[in-house]
Structure 1
C-alpha cells in the first residue's frame, strides 16, 4: 500500500503542475486525485482523502468557464467518501448537490446521474427511508436500461440493490426476483464486462434469500459458488475516476 500511495502522490504532483499551466487539465488532475484519495480511504485516512477532494472542488470552481459535468462528479466523489466514512447525512447532502447541478444544466439523463441516484438510494436505505430509496433505484434502473439495454452490468447492479432493499423489508419474493434477474444477466456477460466480486455477491445474496424462503439446498449451493469465485480473486487497484463509482449493496 505504501508503494501505491507514493506512486499515486507523484502522479498527483505532476497533474497539479500541468493543471496550473493549463486549466483544461483540471479533469485529469481530478482523476489522479481520485486514485490517491481511494488509497487514503483504504488505509482509513478519511481526512486526507477529504482534503484531496476539496482541492479538486476548489480547482474546478475557480475555472473561468465552469464544467457542470466535472462539478457533478466531484460532489459525487465527496458524497462517496462521506458514505464510506459513515457520515450518511453529509453523503446524502453532497449527492443531492450533485443532482441539483446536473438538473440545472440538462444532465439528468446521463449515466453519471443514474449512478448518483443509485448511490443516494443506498444512503436512504441506511437512513430507513424506504420509499425514497426505492424511487431512486427505479429511476437509476430506467436510465441504465435505456442507455445500456437489459443485458448490462449496471442494470444487474441495480437489480441487486433493489433485491437487498426488499429483503431488508422481508419482502422475500420480490427480493428473489431481483437477485435472480441480476444473476441471469451477470452469468451471460463477457469476461471483460463482469466483475467476479459482483457475481460472487449475487450468489451470496441469493443464498440468503433462498435460506429465508426455506430452500436450504439452493442456499448452500449459492454460498459454495460464491466462495469458489472469491478464492480466485486478489489485489486492490483503484481506477482513475471523475465521479463516484456505482455502489453495490452488500449488506445482506
Structure 2
C-alpha cells in the first residue's frame, strides 16, 4: 500500500537563504507553492531559475546549495533518483566548504542525501549519514533541539523499514519527548511524533497501543488546523488503516472517505495525495472482496499518478501492481499478468534490480503463478525474491519470513512436505524474534504449518498449532472476528479427525454465531 503522507519529519525543501536576495527568495517561494500543489513541471522550471540567480554569487554560494537541494528534492519526488543524487552531493559539498563540516545546514544536507538512499533501499549508505546528521545536531544545537528529534525520527524510520523494531521504539519515544518539551503537548509536531510511534505499533500488531496515539494525533491536528486540513486527512487515513488491519471495516470506511474528501478539497481532484487516498480506499474494498467498487478507484488513482509523474514512476508501478492484484483475486489472470510485468519493469528500471520493492513486485507475480498452478514459473521467482530480501534486509526480516512462507506453501502444493516444513519453521522463528509471540502474522504461519501437518495426518501436532494460532487471533482481534471463525473451523476439522466430536460441535456453534454477527 502507498502511504498517504510522509511519516518523516523532513523539511528538505526551501531552506532559508544565507544571504538575502529578493529575486531568489521569491522564486524559491513560488517553487515551493507549485511543489505543494503537485505542479512539478512548473516547480522544476522555477527552481532552475532560482539556481541561475543564485549562481550569480558564484558556484559555491550557500544559496546555490539551497537551490540544488530543492531541485534534488523535486527529482526525488518524481522518482528520478539518479538525477537527484549528484545534486544533493554537490549541495552538501558547497555547504561543508562554505559553512564548515559541523553546521546545521550540513546536517540537513546529510539528512536529505540519507533519505534519498533510504528511498532507494540503499540502507547501508543511509545509516551513517543519518547518524552523522544526528551527531552534528546534538553537538551544535543540544540534545533537546527539535532538529535532533527529526534526526532521531528518520533513523528510527530507517530501522523500521529494515524490520529492526527493537531499535525503533526508543528512538521514536525520545523524539516525541523532545517535541513535547520543546513545543508543548498539543503542537502539530507532537501529533506527527505520535503518528509515527502509532505506525510502529500498528506494524507490530500492537493495535491497542496504536489506536489512542492516532486519536490523540487527530485531536491535536483538528484543533490546530481545523477539520479540513491535509494533516488531518493523513491521520484519518492512518487510523482507518489501523481499523482495516483489524478487520474493522465499518469503522475504517468513513475515515478513508473523509480523508479523501479533505484532500480533494485541499489539492483538487488530480493531486498525487488524492491518488494515494483513492488507492487506500480501493485496497480496503479489495480486502473485503468488494471488487466492483475497488476497480474504478484503482484506475482513477493510476491515471492521476501517470499524469503527475509520467508512466515510469515507482508510484505508478505500485498502482499497476494493486490493479493486477485485484484482477488476480477475481481470477482475471490474463489481465493481471501484463500489469504485474509492467510494474516489475518500471521498478527494476527506476530502483535497480535488488530493491525491496522489486522483490515485492516479483513476489506478487510468483503468487499469481502459484495460484494458477504454474509452479515451475513461481519457484525461481520466489527463490530470487528470497535472495534479494536476505541480501538487502538481512536474514531475520519479516519480509524474509513471508517469502519463506510462500515458498513453503508452494512445496506443500507440490506434495514436497519435507522441503516445506523447515521453511515454515524458519519463517516462524524469524517472526517470533522480530514481531514478538502474539503478532497476527505468527498466527498465519502457525496455521500454515498446522495445515501441513494435518495434510500428513499428524493431527496432534496440527491441533497444538491451530490452538496457539487461535489464541493469538482472539487476543489481537477479539472473539468475533472472521479470522477467528476460520481458525476455529481448522481446529474443529482436526477434532473431527481424532474423534473429539463434542469439542468440534462446540467450536462449530461458535463459528455459526460469529458468521451471523459478521457474515
TM-score range, shorter chain: 0.7 to 0.9
Matched, 1:196 2:397: yes
Matched, 1:76 2:279: yes
Question: Alpha-carbon deviation of 1:133?
Answer: 1.1
* Alignment CA distance shift 1:114-1:18 (3 Å): farther
The equivalent position to 1:226 in structure 2, one of 427, 431, 441, is 427
Name the CA distance, whole Å, in 2 between partners of 1:42 and 1:58.
22
* Alignment CA distance shift 1:43-1:151 (3 Å): closer
Aligned match of 1:46:
249
Partner SS state of residue 435, structure 2: coil
Structure number with higher relative contact order (C-alpha < 8 Å, ≥ 6 residues apart): 1
Question: Alpha-carbon deviation of 1:16?
Answer: 2.8
The equivalent position to 2:411 in structure 1, one of 179, 186, 210, is 210
Matched, 1:57 2:260: yes
* Alignment CA distance shift 1:160-1:122 (3 Å): same
Aligned match of 2:221:
15
**CA deviation string 1:133-157 (max 9, x = no partner):** 1111111111111121111111111
Q: Which moved more, 1:123-132 or 1:55-64?
A: 55-64
Partner SS state of residue 44, structure 1: coil
Partner SS state of residue 59, structure 1: helix
Partner SS state of residue 392, structure 2: coil
**CA deviation string 1:5-45 (max 9, x = no partner):** 22211211222344439x8x51x333222221122223432
**Contact 1:118/1:137, CA 8 A, preserved across alignment:** yes
Aligned length: 233
Matched, 1:110 2:110: no
Q: Greater Rg, structure 1 or structure 2? A: 2
Partner SS state of residue 373, structure 2: coil
Q: Greater share of helix residues, 1 or 2?
A: 2
Name the CA distance, whole Å, in 2 between partners of 1:128 and 1:211.
22
In the superposition, the TM-score normalised over structure 2's length comes to 0.42
**CA deviation string 1:98-141 (max 9, x = no partner):** 11222344443222221121122111111000011111111111
Question: Alpha-carbon deviation of 1:229?
Answer: 1.3
Name the CA distance, whole Å, in 2 between partners of 1:9 and 1:61.
23
Name the CA distance, whole Å, in 1 between partners of 2:320 and 2:257.
22
Q: Identify unmatched segments of 5+ residues in structure 1.
A: 238-250
Name the CA distance, whole Å, in 2 between partners of 1:18 and 1:116.
33
* Alignment CA distance shift 1:43-1:214 (3 Å): closer
**Contact 2:306/2:316, CA 8 A, preserved across alignment:** no
Name the CA distance, whole Å, in 1 between partners of 2:287 and 2:370.
22
Name the CA distance, whole Å, in 1 between partners of 2:333 and 2:296.
17
Query: What does 1:85-124 correspond to in 2, within 5 Å?
Result: 85-124=288-327
Matched, 1:185 2:388: yes
* Alignment CA distance shift 1:51-1:96 (3 Å): same
Question: Alpha-carbon deviation of 1:65?
Answer: 5.4
**Contact 1:73/1:98, CA 8 A, preserved across alignment:** yes
Q: Identify unmatched segments of 5+ residues in structure 2.
A: 1-206, 440-447, 449-519
Aligned match of 1:245:
none
Question: Alpha-carbon deviation of 1:2?
Answer: 4.2
* Alignment CA distance shift 1:53-1:213 (3 Å): closer
Name the CA distance, whole Å, in 1 between partners of 2:413 and 2:245.
33
Aligned match of 2:492:
none
Aligned match of 1:130:
333
Name the CA distance, whole Å, in 1 between partners of 2:411 and 2:267.
56
Name the CA distance, whole Å, in 1 between partners of 2:396 and 2:420.
22
Name the CA distance, whole Å, in 2 between partners of 1:224 and 1:2.
28
Name the CA distance, whole Å, in 1 between partners of 2:309 and 2:357.
22
Aligned match of 1:241:
none
